[in-house]
A = this chain, B = another copy of it.
Amino acid sequence: MSDADVELPESIELAWGLRERPGKGPRRSLTMRQVVAAGIRVAETDGLAAVSMSRVAGELGVATMSLYRYVPAKSDLLDLMADTAYGDPPAPRGPHEGWRPALARWALANVAAIHRHPWIRQVPIGGPPLGPNQVRWMEQGLAALRGTGLRGIERLSTIMLVSGYARNWATLTVDLDEAAAREQLDPDDAGARYWHQLARLTRHGAYPAIRELLVEGTEGSEDEVFDTEWEFGLERILDGIEVLIRGRTAPD
């Protein structure tokens, strides 16, 4: 089966620049990149909820329906925005860099991308990665695991595990920060309030494990806790991968 006749979704062809310009009609007054950039500008300023076709069109000084000459539907615009916002993947694994630091760098870059463009987390995932930047991130993630003895599908599962963790963690922290900001609260105070709320709700009833946790306390500022929690989860995952790799390298 030849690869040439594999059909690609319209928005993917758009993103990779595989659509030839028609040539016939009047000159286009915009480019797809401009439309995507305008969408990003709106999301950056007022959040993803503010990204409506009419708002983006307004940003470009153009009628709402004109955008549909550049993008098949709003969901495609969002996909293109997300792919663009992820930007370049981190530097590839260096010649003397182990898989573990390389993968840790890749994971942190995932978090940084979402923290840089918090609206990304709200873009609905529309299938496996096919956008140009998504594919380049995938390439760098897989590259970090070359020569580890992991099978292909295991390398794939590994980077999905790591990027999923990064996405979850970034989403969680951004959600909490935004919720605190919405109530004009310090993130630290919001965290403390949560523990008080949980304590009140579990005062009556059988929640021994939660009460044990509350008694023990969760000292430290939110910032410290957040960094520590990120490291904690990442180290657990990397340790787990290392167990497998060691088992592979030194055959039983």
Contact = CB atoms under 8 A, between A and B. Distances in A.
Contact of A209 (B146, B158, B160): B146
Contacts of A243: 236, 239-240, 243
A1 interface: yes
Nearest to A9: B197
A52 interface: no
Contact of A199 (B3, B176, B239): B3
A112 interface: no
A249 interface: no
Interface stretch (A27-35, A39-47, A79-87, A127-135): A127-135
A66 interface: no
Contacts of A60: none
A126 B244 CA distance: 36
B218 A158 contact: no
Interface string A106-148: 0000000000000000101111101000011011101101100
Contacts of A179: 126-127
